Amino acid sequence: MSPPAATVDGDWKRVHPASPFVRGWVALAAVGFFFGRDAFERMLQGRDFLDPNLNGRVPWLLAGGAVVLLLTVGGFILSWYFTRYQVAEGYVRVNTGFLFKQQRQARLDRVQAIDIVQPLLARIFGLAELKFEVADAGESAVRLAYLPLHQAKQLRATILARAAGVVSGPETIEEIPEAPEHVVLAVPPGRLIGALLLSEQTVGILLGAAVVVTTSVLLENNAIFLALIPGILGIGAAYWSSFNKGYNFTAAISPDGIRLRYGLLDTQAQTVPPGRIQALMVTQPPLWRVFGWYRMHVNVAGYGVSASSEGAARTMLLPVGLKSDVMRMMSLVLPDPGVGDPERVFTAGLEGLAPAGPQSSAGDGFVTTPRRARLLAPLGWRRNGFFATRTALVIRSGRWWRTLVLVPHQRTQSMALQQGPLARRFGVADLVLHTTAGPVSPRVFQAGVEQAVELFDQQSARAREARKRQTSEQWLAQVAPQAPEVAATVEAEQPQRPAQPVQPVQPVQPVQPVQPQTSPQEDRHNG
């Protein structure tokens, strides 16, 4: 008879014994190279590398290398022994260190996203790293490396189930299987390669190459090409990194949230719980317009604004996709768009253009830059505009580089009106919305002063009302209206997981007009 499985609460567990070796294999390789290089070279020459008459330092190097190697392996073993984790009392905790001890913890109800990361060496050993992102952390609050892949998935399911309010008792990890999912889209490798070749980066490279060639011909100096070798290597590495991070990109929906998987050598699986996305941005470079391609970025608390390839990949909701893919992902991020015909509104946000007449409102419902300010943005004034639905503010901008930004009302943390000297002269102002740090910077460009002030007051009221309706951080304790794919997955998943009865919530009511007022977190100021 097998012993009963230990409960999660109060039970400290250790990571896989191979974890420190997977993390520190570079150190082991460096030790071996430094101390064994001479012996290896003599071996290749067919000479006795232990003969002290030939080279007396080789035996000492090997002995020193053995000592350093033993100390390194001993440090790895101690590191593994003193690394433990626990899920208890509403927290996930990780203890590390044997000389300088450290404990990191994250509140389950503040978990913004959970990633499963598998570097190439970890994939070989069937291991994975868990990253827990919380709202009050500038980077990963907790990193747990490494666990067997199946155990990492089960632990993620446990934490997401407790964070969502589905599980509250002392169930074991084995009793909480991973939630089922429904794949909604996948990016073909050919489209990803085409998108990279037609990206803004390629345009910049071609322009730079033309300048270099012209300069070389005029100066009759071919040496300039040698100075470009490091730049060429860096450009190649950047393309490879983008391809490696975007390869095999798939998006799926489950009761746990939106699941993103990508990677060629190093694979990563992100799970972003519903409602945790603070802002969304859809962009379309000029050359992509020929094929109807778009990309999507998001702000998620905890992801921050890292400029590294890993940070950019984590904020990417869709590396390249068609309009139908964009609409599908938007339905996952904002299941209740708050408007009767969301496709018309989002299409106008992606492609719309106000007529050249004197009106300040386009026929598609977007309030655009007044004609009097067209000299401030000769190309973009007919694109710049905003549209407020019942649940989100939609902002569009850019004539050549088209941009569409979507901010759920409850995610508006603060706002500011900005007006420079030229904007004051033409009677326009910018409205800046502040969310968590990330690649999306919501900004209404060059709205008329009257419209900007009115939007400021109305958006303040919408944000307050939306935050009042968001009564629980546990998103499955109260299930809001969802997209068909989400509803089907939730219904299929409920009998398989221990859960409390799910009570439906009342539909969101439209916000009533209010008198202009501001909250303590909102301000108006001139820039």
Cα torsion 186, 191, 197, 202: sign: negative
419-465 pLDDT, tens digit each: 999 999 999 999 999 988 889 999 999 999 999 999 999 999 999 99
Tell me, letter by letter, the H, E, C secondary structure of 212-269. Answer: HHHHHHHHCCHHHHHHHHHHHHHHHHHHHHHHHHHCCCEEEEECCEEEEEECCCCEEE
Question: Quick check: is 441 in a domain?
Answer: yes
User: Final residue of a domain: which of 127, 143, 178?
Assistant: 178
Same-domain check for residues 435 and 371: yes
| Ramachandran category for residue 398: left, alpha or beta (phi over 0 → left; psi -120 to 50 → alpha) | left
Of 190-204, 304-318, 347-361, 504-518, which gets the smallest average pLDDT?
A: 504-518
Average pLDDT in the 95-114 region? Answer: 82
User: Final residue of a domain: which of 147, 178, 209?
Assistant: 178
Same-domain check for residues 140 and 202: no
Same-domain check for residues 67 and 213: no
Same-domain check for residues 390 and 292: yes
Of 265-279, 340-354, 397-411, which gets the smallest average pLDDT?
A: 265-279
Question: Quick check: is 525 in a domain?
Answer: no
Same-domain check for residues 369 and 399: yes
Q: How far apart are CA 130 and CA 145, in angstroms?
A: 6
Same-domain check for residues 48 and 153: yes
- In the predicted structure, residue 326 carries a pLDDT above the cut 90: yes
Question: Quick check: is 148 in a domain?
Answer: yes
Question: Quick check: is 223 in a domain?
Answer: yes
Classify residue 512 by its DSSP letter: P
What was the pLDDT predicted at 6?
37
Same-domain check for residues 168 and 202: no
Q: How far apart are CA 368 and CA 355, in angstroms?
A: 10
- In the predicted structure, residue 49 carries a pLDDT above the cut 70: no
In Å, what is the CA distance from 365 to each residue of 25, 222, 352? 58, 57, 10
User: Final residue of a domain: which of 125, 152, 178?
Assistant: 178
Q: How far apart are CA 124 and CA 41, in angstroms?
A: 30
Question: Quick check: is 129 in a domain?
Answer: yes
- In the predicted structure, residue 320 carries a pLDDT above the cut 90: yes
From the list 111, 96, 95, 103, the residue with the least C-alpha distance to 156 is 111
Q: How far apart are CA 301 and CA 426, in angstroms?
A: 37
What was the pLDDT predicted at 446?
94
Classify residue 513 by its DSSP letter: P
At 300, which CATH number?
A: 2.30.29.30
Q: How far apart are CA 126 and CA 300, in angstroms?
A: 29
From the list 503, 504, 496, the residue with the least C-alpha distance to 180 is 496
Classify residue 2 by its DSSP letter: P
- In the predicted structure, residue 495 carries a pLDDT above the cut 50: no
Same-domain check for residues 210 and 300: no
From the list 443, 358, 437, the residue with the least C-alpha distance to 394 is 443
What was the pLDDT predicted at 498?
37
Question: Quick check: is 251 in a domain?
Answer: no
What was the pLDDT predicted at 310?
62
Cα torsion 119, 127, 275, 414: sign: negative
Joined together, the tokens standing for residue 121 give: 């060496």
pLDDT band at 358 (very low <50, low <70, confident <90, very high): low
β-strands 250-254, 13-14 pairing? unpaired
Across 212-249, b (16+ Cβ under 10 Å) vs e yields eeeeeeeeeeeeeeeeeeeeeeebeeebeebbbbbbeb
Classify residue 340 by its DSSP letter: S
Question: Quick check: is 472 in a domain?
Answer: yes
Three-state DSSP state, 443: strand
181-206 pLDDT, tens digit each: 899 999 999 999 999 999 888 888 88
Identify which of 82-96, 171-185, 478-492, 501-515 has the greatest average pLDDT.
Answer: 82-96
Q: How far apart are CA 371 and CA 358, in angstroms?
A: 6
Question: Quick check: is 146 in a domain?
Answer: yes
Same-domain check for residues 355 and 492: yes
- In the predicted structure, residue 385 carries a pLDDT above the cut 90: yes
Q: How far apart are CA 153 and CA 269, in angstroms?
A: 10
Residue 159 identity (one-letter amino acid): I
As for how many domains the chain has, the answer is 3
Q: ∠113-301-243 over CA atoms, to 5°? A: 65
pLDDT band at 173 (very low <50, low <70, confident <90, very high): low
Average pLDDT, the chain: 78
212-251 pLDDT, tens digit each: 778 877 877 777 777 677 777 888 888 888 898 899 999 9
Same-domain check for residues 401 and 448: yes
| HSE-CB of 128 using CA atoms within 13 angstroms | 19
Average pLDDT in the 267-289 region? Answer: 89
Are 89 and 82 spatial neighbours (Cβ–Cβ below 8 Å)? no
Same-domain check for residues 209 and 78: no
Tell me, letter by letter, the H, E, C secondary structure of 450-496. Answer: HHHHHHHHHHHHHHHHHHHHCCCCCCCCEECCCCHHHHHHHHHHHHH
Q: How far apart are CA 436 and CA 443, in angstroms?
A: 14
From the list 160, 109, 168, the residue with the least C-alpha distance to 135 is 109
Same-domain check for residues 387 and 447: yes
Residue range of the domain that includes 475: 274-504
pTM of the model: 0.76
DSSP 40-104: HHHHHTT--TT-TTT-THHHHHHHHHHHHHHHHHHHHHHHHHT-EEEEETTEEEEEE-SSS-EEE
Q: Which residue matches tokens 């992100």?
A: 270
pLDDT band at 409 (very low <50, low <70, confident <90, very high): very high
From the list 394, 384, 340, 337, the residue with the least C-alpha distance to 362 is 384
